[in-house]
Structures are given as structure tokens and as C-alpha cells.
């Protein structure tokens, strides 16, 4: 046995290392090809961007339809918009999606707050965060009142 050990080249690392290297090369090539194939697949699965409608005003109702200190959520091109009739008689409009995780918000006239039912976010009548986890204010949209028609401008 000791003779054998002397004549045969000592614990030979080369063939093993060669095999490891080969395995590594095959694995890396396969992963690379797989990743390259994944890229067009992900691009395919991402729908092409649709052109967004330009700035436009939408009539959301007549002034007398809104009671003082009340609000309603309207659907403008698939986006919820909260139209708020303030106690003084002014109107404000906000994109009615909570800035936390996008839940539709609603108005609480008793507290004069805009509230999110999902995680308890609360906003003032100016859209600013009062409490809860939302990281930023609601996005405000301009409101125009013309001849008793309330119009929200999107763009």
C-alpha cells in the first residue's frame, strides 16, 4: 500500500478540480441562457403603456346636489376622485386613493376628516396627513365651479 502511494501521483486534485470547473461552467452557461430567455418573457408579460388622457375637465354634479359638509366619490376615467363640499361652501377634490397602499378613502363629516378604512390613515380637509401610516398628502385636483356646475380638472 505504501509503495502504491509513492508510485501513484500523490492525492491528485487536478481531475477533481477540472470536473468542478466543468460543472461550474455548465451551470453558469445554463443559468445565463435561462436568464437571457427570462428577459424577453418578462417584457412580453408587461403590457405596453397606454396613452394617458390629456388634461380635461369633468362635470361631477351641480352645486345644489352637494349638501354642505359632505362628499362623494366619483369615477373619472377609472380613477376614484373624492369631491368635497366644505362647510364654508367651497369645493375641493382629491384623488381618492390613500397614499399608503391605495385603498379608496371616504369623508367623515362628523370629524371633518378624510379617512382610509384599510389601515386607519386620516387626512384633513386640505388632504394633509393627520394620523396613521400614510407617508404623504392626498393628491389634490383643481375644482372649477361655473354656472352652478362643479367641474374637476384632471391632467
Partner 1 sequence: MEPPDEAADPMPIRALLRRLAGVHVSRGDGLTFVLLAAVAMLLMAVEAVTGVLLALYYRPTTADANDSVRFVVTEVEYGGLVRSLHYWGAQSLIAVLGATVAWAALRRAYRAPHALAWISGIALAVLAVAEAFTGSLLPWSHRSVVDAQLSSSLAAQLPLVGPLLRGLMLGGSQPNDLSLVRILGLHAGVLPMVASICIGALCLHAAGCAPRHPSAGSLSLSPHAALRAAALAAVVAIALLALSSLLPPHLGASAEVARASAAGLRPSWYLAFVHQMLSAAPPKMIGLPSARVLVTAVALGVATLALFPLFDRRASRAGQVAVLVTLAAIVGGTIRALLH
Q: Which residues bind partner 1 (CB under 8 A)?
A: 42, 45-47, 50, 73, 75-76, 78-80, 100-106, 117-120, 129, 132-135
- Least separation in angstroms between CB 120 and partner 1: 5
Cβ-count burial of 82 within 10 angstroms (0-12 exposed, 13-18 middle, 19+ buried)? buried
Taking alpha carbons only, the member of 68, 123, 120 closest to residue 94 is: 123
Query: CB-wise, 91 or 121, nearer to partner 1?
Result: 121
Question: 127 or 134, CB closer to partner 1?
Answer: 134
151 contacts 145 by C-beta, under 8 angstroms: yes
* CA atoms of 132 and 104, how far apart (whole Å): 15
Which CB sits closer to partner 1, 17 or 104?
A: 104
Q: In the bound complex, what is the minimum distance in angstroms from residue 29's beta carbon to partner 1?
A: 23
Enumerate the β-bridge partners of residue 82: 73, 94
- Specify whether the CB–CB gap between 81 and 94 falls below 8 A: yes
Shortest gap between Cβ of 47 and partner 1 (angstroms)? 5
**Shortest Cβ 76–partner 1 spacing (Å):** 8
- Nearer residue to partner 1 within complex by CB, 16 or 101: 101
Residue 81 half-sphere exposure, CB side, CA atoms within 13 Å?
26
| Nearest approach, Cβ of residue 82 and partner 1 (Å) | 10
| CB nearer to partner 1: pick between 8 and 49 | 49
Cα distances (Å, whole numbers) of residue 53 to 8, 81, 94, 99: 79, 16, 18, 22
Amino acid at each position: 500500500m505504501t509503495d502504491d502511494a509513492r508510485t501513484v501521483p500523490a492525492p491528485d486534485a487536478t481531475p477533481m478540480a477540472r470536473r468542478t470547473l466543468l460543472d461550474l461552467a455548465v451551470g453558469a452557461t445554463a443559468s445565463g441562457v435561462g436568464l437571457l430567455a427570462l428577459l424577453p418573457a418578462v417584457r412580453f408579460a408587461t403590457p405596453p403603456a397606454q396613452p394617458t388622457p390629456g388634461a380635461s375637465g369633468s362635470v361631477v354634479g351641480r352645486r345644489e346636489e352637494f349638501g354642505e359638509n359632505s362628499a362623494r366619490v366619483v369615477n373619472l376615467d377609472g380613477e376614484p376622485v373624492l369631491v368635497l363640499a366644505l362647510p364654508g361652501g367651497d369645493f375641493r377634490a382629491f384623488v381618492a386613493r390613500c397614499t399608503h397602499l391605495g385603498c379608496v378613502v371616504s369623508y367623515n363629516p362628523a370629524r371633518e376628516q378624510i379617512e382610509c378604512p384599510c389601515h386607519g390613515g386620516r387626512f384633513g380637509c386640505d388632504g394633509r396627513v393627520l394620523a396613521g401610516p400614510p407617508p404623504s398628502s392626498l393628491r389634490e385636483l383643481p375644482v372649477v365651479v361655473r354656472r352652478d356646475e362643479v367641474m374637476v380638472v384632471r391632467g
